Amino acid sequence: MSDSVIPPATAVVDPELRERIVLGIKDALPRVLGREVPEDLENVCFFTDLSLTSASTIELVLEIEELLDIQVNVEKVSLDDLRSIDRLADYVAGHLVEQD
């Protein structure tokens, strides 16, 4: 049996899971950046405000996977999905890979 991706259009995003993802992002950001980050990240753009690159944002996703013991399909991630905490949380929650 192989891993299957939950299609985002049919996936029901669990609000509790999404909140755990947001908290995971906030927890992992300082490690990925190697520095402290502002407390209020709600309106922060990862690229312009925090100087994340697309590569470091993928590193962030890997940190979240490890922290929350989940797998995320990153094959269809776009730059828009990597711009902010809300967009990344939505992407991660909508692109989980079910493990058989």
Which CATH number is 27's domain given?
A: 1.10.1200.10
Residue pointed to by tokens 């996703």 = 61
Q: What is the per-residue pLDDT for 57? A: 83
Q: With contact defined as beta carbons under 8 Å apart, do 72 and 96 qualify? A: yes
Q: With contact defined as beta carbons under 8 Å apart, do 46 and 88 qualify? A: yes
Divide the 100 residues of the chain into consecutive groups of 10 and give the mean pLDDT of each group.
46 84 94 92 91 87 93 89 92 86
Locate all alpha helices (DSSP H) within the chain, ordered by sequence.
15-33, 54-68, 85-94
Structure tokens given for 73: 């399909």
State how many domains the chain has: 1
Number of residues that this document lists for the chain: 100
Q: What is the per-residue pLDDT for 55? A: 83
Q: With contact defined as beta carbons under 8 Å apart, do 95 and 16 qualify? A: no
Rounded to whole angstroms, how far apart are CA atoms 92 and 82? 10
Q: What is the per-residue pLDDT for 45? A: 93
Amino acid at 31: R
Q: How many CA atoms lie within 13 A of 54 on its CB side?
A: 6
Q: Supply the range of the domain harboring residue 22.
A: 4-98
pTM: predicted TM-score of the whole model, two decimal places: 0.81
Q: What is the per-residue pLDDT for 1? A: 44
